[in-house]
Structure 1
């Protein structure tokens, strides 16, 4: 029983390492994303809070760049379509 537990713990540790090592780069280059979508994808900035009225662009290297602040709200454009300001 102890051997099975050790194997299980080792498997969990290995899986956790793999998951943590995956880069959070999942945006589609060329599309714009609202702040909450950027946060859900795992993008974080050490010196900046990602707000819900901010619009970001996905760059060719799958990094994101701030585009503009939406005066009213940022709307989800749907799957495969850019988000936009209103």
Structure 2
């Protein structure tokens, strides 16, 4: 019985810790400001790559204030640069350029 209890404790601990390793990926077909998609996960390199492919600068302002479309977890193409700052929309909606 002690062996079975130890197994359940290990299983519970593993399940608990696994929750921390899962990233909150972007929602497909939703527009995100760079600053908001980076809060979802490790998208910095993906954003810089998208900006470069679109011929855009990769400075901090373009990274944070550009608009990207989440096509899938690793595909977030550049859509627009928000010169007046990118506005974070509602939690279940699109971000946008004002």
Question: Would you say same fold, with TM above 0.5?
Answer: yes
Equivalent pairs counted in the alignment come to 80
Large movers: runs of 4+ above 3 Å: 10-20
The structure in which a higher percent of residues are strand is 1
Unaligned 5+ residue runs, structure 2? 1-9, 49-59
5+ unaligned residues in a row in structure 1: which ranges? 1-9
Q: Distance in 2 between matches of 1:57 and 1:18?
A: 26
Match of 2:84 among 45, 62, 72: 72
Partner of 1:51, secondary structure, is helix
Distance 2:40 2:95 in 1: 14
Q: Which has the higher helix share?
A: 2
Match runs of 1:23-38 below 5 Å: 23-27=23-27, 29-38=28-37
Name the CA distance, whole Å, in 1 between partners of 2:35 and 2:94.
14
TM-score by length of 1: 0.61
TM-score, structure 2 as length reference: 0.55
How far is 1:26 from its partner? Answer: 3.5
| Helix, strand or coil at the partner of 2:69 | strand
